[in-house]
Structure 1
Amino acid sequence: MKKIVTILGARPQFIKGAVLSRIISEKNEFEEIIIHTGQHFDKNMSNIFFEEMHIPKPKYNLDINGLSHGAMTGRMIESIEKILLDEKPEIVVVFGDTNSTLAGALAAKKIGIKVAHIEAGLRSFNMSMPEEVNRILTDRISNLLSCPTQKAIDNLREEGFVNFDIEIYKHGDIMKDAMEFYKKKSKDYSNVLEKLSIKGSKFVLATIHRQENTESATVLSEIFEALGTINKKQPVVLPLHPRTAGRLKEYKIETDVVVIEPQGYYDMIQLLENCTMVITDSGGLQKEAFFNKKQCIVVREETEWVELVEKGYAKIVGANKKNILNTFKEFLNSNVKYDEGLYGKNVGEQIYLSIKKIINK
């Protein structure tokens, strides 16, 4: 049986991978081999997703984390290459824009194995972001680019990708499939609202983890001052990323918000479904907010999901206390209609068929 190797390493990739793994298993036309790079090593950011979402157990766990970008990516390439030489898959599937994404794509391409990049074509146009570098390089060396939006297609066209021997598709966003499938189960598997004693209460869901927000004491203080002010009006529930936890301690920043451990997917769905709005610097959570019909305050200077901003579902505020607070007030009093078809339908099935086509090409 022909093989598909899937590279996973971070929370959003576990979620996206779960959708495709389920389809590969149901079709039973290819053997899937999962490599977990270990980029997210906290149990609540990694293992719990495999347990809850019934993702097939990784055949390989590289346990590579806590290193600089160069060291992490380099070690991943070396380790993944060895596995690919042994397994000899027809294609390697990578998701998103992490170091795991780029490492998997480079390792495969260097030894002549086809690459499929899921969530291709996104651009922040901020080259200081490691994720931007990862996604651009991965797009350029892939054989199949699965784009979530028309804007992603347009970005690739403007960069000249129509001149390359690459298959480009607008499939939609695979995270929508995940949300639709697992949302039905979340109430049975999650008791997070009861544990936090917030069932039936109004609260704001927040996550902060990006390098540009956590590597400066001034920037991180500004964000947490805003969250603290909002917390006096509505409780702010903050699943705390390990990087942010370390920086808060290092910078001696104290907060009164409701700090909790990183949550599993079912718990996050329940938090999203019941919050009043979302404040985040995460790309994935911006869309998950939309899927749950919640407006999102984006604590960044740009977003890859420009359609969310254009349609009023999200607003970019930067790490600016005044902007965060003003947008919080604005969103409390706003009422928007959500475009159900914005990110496609049956996305995982479409991606699977395109991968099958590339394998058999």
Structure 2
Amino acid sequence: MSLKIMSVVGARPNFMKIAPFAHAIEREDDRIEHFLVHTGQHYDPEMYHSFFEALNIPTPDVDLEIGSGSHAEQVGRTMIAFEKVLLERRPDWVVVVGDVNATCACSITARKHHVRVAHIEAGLRSFDERMPEEINRMVTDRVSNLLLTPDELSGENLRREGAEEERIRFVGNIMIDTLEAHRARAEALDLNDILTSHAIDPDLKTPVDDGSFAVMTMHRPSNVDSREVLEPLVRCLREEVASKMPLVWSIHPRTRNRLETFGLWDELLADDRLILIRPVGYHAMLKLNMSARLMLTDSGGLQEECCVLGTPCITMRENTERPVTLVENGGVSELTGPDPEKITSALDTFLNMERRGHRPPLWDGKTAERIVTELENRT
């Protein structure tokens, strides 16, 4: 009798994490029956299909098509829709990843129906409960039967919160499985082809060389929703970063909207030291990261990739749920928030630092295999 596993993805960050898990299950022949649920929390069909295709993720067995809404609306609609699928399929395990609303909603629903839950990326904590993702992490970890941690600090967090030792398993970082599986494909891409094909300015003529530029992503409301924060941040990027090297900025739709609203967009377009591009796919961003001299971001996933690739990372956040990536823990990331002075200080430090990768324990590309083994051993 095969083991029945139902996996849940809800938003773009989940896609890179579920891909290696799905591939590891495929290698188990017929011992595992896998059912993939996409909640549709990430509701851009073009981006969603492109990510599934690029990462060779199996087509979801069902798309709940939850769409946008407040956190309460997304969680409520997801629980109602997911419950129907859960009762129809009756899996042995529900596997959730990360910290999006779908992760929290589906773990609660499964446990209410006495279905075991395994949480990939358990134990991550920013200790900032103003972040909705932090609430999702805490709730999901509390109800999960199996807590699959990406690093040793995460396991310590869970133990401090009273999680039983038999529920905690240190398996490593599944995001690095995806990085290692796709590194060669990303490396083969042409850097300047990426820039010209995604350029917001169709007359872009600024070529860049490996190691000669900075790359940036920024989307969090705390960085972009207030003019009082965003305007001095933009000034810092132009006067401090772009004055030292070309700055490739992958502009999130939310960020562009705010820049236009605050009257900052035209001055960015006019600055030829900035290379403004539309959002890129996974492989293109990996190539940019591998080639950049410096990363500026408020993305947790990019922090992790920079850590392994050795790209110095200015993390424009006040806190992080991934402290293993920070310089003080052997990594290559420094927290600055949106503070121009802290960004400038970190910039000066990193530009005088030799590039070096840091690979925490079990960030070896084999995390998905360990997860499948844990689930099989608990049948």
Where does 1:56-75 land on structure 2 (aligned, <5 Å)? 56-75=58-77
Q: What is the alpha-carbon distance in structure 2 between the residues aligned to residue 192 and residue 103 of structure 1? A: 40
User: Greater CA deviation, 283-292 or 249-258?
Assistant: 249-258
Equivalence for 1:253 = 264
Q: What is the alpha-carbon distance in structure 2 between the residues aligned to residue 60 and residue 5 of structure 1? A: 11
User: Greater CA deviation, 260-269 or 151-160?
Assistant: 260-269
8 Å contact from structure 2 (residues 311, 356) kept in 1: no
Out of 315, 321, 324, the position equivalent to 2:334 is 315
- The one-letter code of the counterpart of 1:13 is N
Q: What is the alpha-carbon distance in structure 2 between the residues aligned to residue 354 and residue 337 of structure 1? A: 33
Note the alpha carbon deviations across 1:88-118, whole angstroms, 9 max, x for none: 1111111111111111211211211111100
Q: What is the alpha-carbon distance in structure 2 between the residues aligned to residue 75 and residue 209 of structure 1? A: 25
Equivalence for 2:212 = 202
Equivalence for 1:221 = 231
Q: What is the alpha-carbon distance in structure 1 between the residues aligned to residue 133 and residue 47 of structure 2? A: 19
Equivalence for 2:292 = 275
Out of 322, 328, 344, the position equivalent to 2:363 is 344
Q: What is the alpha-carbon distance in structure 1 between the residues aligned to residue 65 and residue 277 of structure 2? A: 25
Equivalence for 1:77 = 79
Note the alpha carbon deviations across 1:286-312, whole angstroms, 9 max, x for none: 001112111110101111221222125
8 Å contact from structure 1 (residues 179, 291) kept in 2: no
Q: What is the alpha-carbon distance in structure 2 between the residues aligned to residue 173 and residue 35 of structure 1? A: 22
- The one-letter code of the counterpart of 1:42 is D
- The one-letter code of the counterpart of 1:253 is L
Alpha-carbon distance, 1:277 to partner:
1.2
8 Å contact from structure 2 (residues 332, 358) kept in 1: no
Matched pairs, number: 356
- Kindly indicate whether residue 305 of structure 2 is the aligned counterpart of residue 296 of structure 1: no
Equivalence for 1:103 = 105
Q: What is the alpha-carbon distance in structure 2 between the residues aligned to residue 318 and residue 87 of structure 1? A: 44
- Same amino acid, percent of matched pairs: 37
8 Å contact from structure 1 (residues 193, 271) kept in 2: no
CA shift in 2, pair 1:161/1:195, >3 Å: closer
- Kindly indicate whether residue 374 of structure 2 is the aligned counterpart of residue 354 of structure 1: yes
Equivalence for 1:237 = 248
8 Å contact from structure 2 (residues 123, 154) kept in 1: yes
Where does 1:74-153 land on structure 2 (aligned, <5 Å)? 74-153=76-155
Alpha-carbon distance, 1:347 to partner:
1.2
8 Å contact from structure 1 (residues 222, 321) kept in 2: yes
For structure 2, the 5+ residue unaligned runs are 196-206
Equivalence for 2:201 = none
- The one-letter code of the counterpart of 1:51 is E
SS at match of 2:118: strand
For structure 1, the 5+ residue unaligned runs are none
Equivalence for 1:23 = 24
SS at match of 1:185: helix
Equivalence for 1:327 = 346
CA RMSD across the alignment: 1.8
